[in-house]
Amino acid sequence: MADLILPAPAKLNLFLHITGRRDDGYHLLQTLFQFVDQADELTFTTSRAAGIDFTCSTQALAGTDNLVVRAANLLRERYAPNAGANIHLEKRLPHGGGLGGGSSDAATTLLALRQLWQLDISDRQLQQLGLQLGADVPVFLGGQAAFAEGVGEQLRPTRPPTAWYLIVHPGIAVATADIFRHPDLPRQHQPLKLDDWNWENTRNDCELLVRRLYPEVANALDWLVEYAPARLTGTGACIFGRFSSQQKAHAALQQMPDRWTGFVAQGINESPVCQLLRQASTVNLTNQD
Ligand SMILES: C[C@@](CO)(OP(=O)(O)O)[C@H](O)COP(=O)(O)OP(=O)(O)OC[C@H]1O[C@@H](n2ccc(N)nc2=O)[C@H](O)[C@@H]1O
Ligand SMILES: Nc1ncnc2c1ncn2[C@@H]1O[C@H](COP(=O)(O)OP(=O)(O)O)[C@@H](O)[C@H]1O
């Protein structure tokens, strides 16, 4: 029987400004992360045999380079060399689209295995491990919508409006590394006083370049903006429109051209993962009484 079944929610970058570049080539960002109520699902079962046995509903992601396996092995190497687990990933989010699904899967894995393997590791230590896997992992570990600076690791929780979103995948993949290394990417956005952010005084600094390099993203944005304020998330290729109600978002989805895929989701300011883990630990403690 499974020990734990947990979601791994998607994120949106409600805005994304590039304010500079570090000596190692990584870019300094100011961004606002909000989660949405659509998620992958992970099932964890501890095993007596040391090591990770991993399965995934999407065959292309079933290898050992999956961020789930990398997260689990990083935790084992550092803190629990003899521990073992069977993990299944039910992949529901589009991958490689700026929704952070892989980072979220990694964060859920670190949180779940810390609890199941009863490891005495602080949140801070877990954050440091997470950052080695990807710049988006820390916000998923923290579990709260947040402004992020640095490369995404300096987090300040905040509570942006929980709008409804129509998230559209224009059916092509954008390579994050290609965007960040492109000479035409703007890199000198004046730092914003984060509390002063609103939709109008922010943007996604990758958007103009991604529009130019990937015309289908431009087509999708030009279509969506007829229904709602719309923007790229991360480096794309997904875009999102911001709606005042679920009905309006669904009405736009009905009109979406067939060649794209889309779904409606609500913004949430707390990831469900931490709360579910607390509940699971209470149940376990009660069962041990
Ligand atoms: C842009 C953001 C915004 O949330 O989201 P996504 O589009 O990936 O969701 C993230 O910062 C993505 O961070 P992360 O997920 O770690 O990026 P990766 O795919 O590992 O990075 C690929 C490459 O992009 C460059 N890169 C990435 C992040 C960053 N702040 N500066 C960079 O220069 C690096 O060259 C890196 O090797
Ligand atoms: N569990 C995973 N889910 C999705 N992608 C993964 C996963 N593990 C590794 N990857 C790789 O990471 C890349 C980025 O995935 P994802 O986090 O979904 O997108 P993004 O970083 O654009 O938000 C994918 O193209 C895929 O090759």
| Cα separation values, 64 from 40, 54, 56, 61, 72, Å | 18, 8, 11, 9, 11
**Could you report the per-residue pLDDT of 230-254, keeping only the tens digit for each?**
999 999 999 999 999 999 999 999 9
pLDDT at 189 over 50: yes
| Cα separation values, 74 from 109, 123, 130, 132, 212, Å | 11, 15, 9, 9, 38
* Protein residue with least CA distance to atom 2, ligand 2: 102
Instruction: Answer yes or no: is the C-beta of 72 below 6 A from any ligand 2 atom.
Output: no
Return d(Cα 52, Cα 169) in angstroms, integer. 32
Say what the pLDDT of residue 289 is. 45
**Could you report the per-residue pLDDT of 98-145, keeping only the tens digit for each?**
999 999 999 999 999 999 999 999 999 999 999 999 999 999 999 999
Q: Which CATH architecture has domain 164-268?
A: 2-Layer Sandwich (3.30)
What was the ipTM of the complex prediction?
Answer: 0.94
Report the phi/psi class of residue 152: left, alpha or beta, with left for phi > 0 and alpha for psi in -120 to 50. left
Query: Matching CATH topology for 4-158 and 164-268?
Result: no
Say what the pLDDT of residue 1 is. 64
**Rounded to the nearest whole angstrom, what is the distance from the C-alpha of residue 1 to the centroid of ligand 1?**
37
Q: What is the pTM of this model?
A: 0.96
Which of 67, 95, 169, 172 has most ligand 2 atoms within 8 Å of CB, for mutation? Answer: 95
Return d(Cα 214, Cα 28) in angstroms, integer. 24
Instruction: Answer yes or no: is the C-beta of 97 below 6 A from any ligand 1 atom.
Output: no
Which of 40, 67, 73, 90 has most ligand 2 atoms within 8 Å of CB, for mutation? Answer: 67
Pick the CATH number of 4-158 from 3.30.230.10, 3.40.50.970, 3.30.1010.10, 3.40.50.920: 3.30.230.10
Instruction: Answer yes or no: is the C-beta of 94 below 6 A from any ligand 1 atom.
Output: no
The DSSP line for 83-134 is -EEEEEEE--SPSSSSS-HHHHHHHHHHHHHHHHTT----HHHHHHHHHHH-
Domain boundaries, the chain: 4-158, 164-268
What is the average per-residue pLDDT within 260-281?
94
- Which residues are part of the catalytic machinery? 11, 136
Share of the chain above pLDDT 70, in %: 97
Say what the pLDDT of residue 278 is. 87
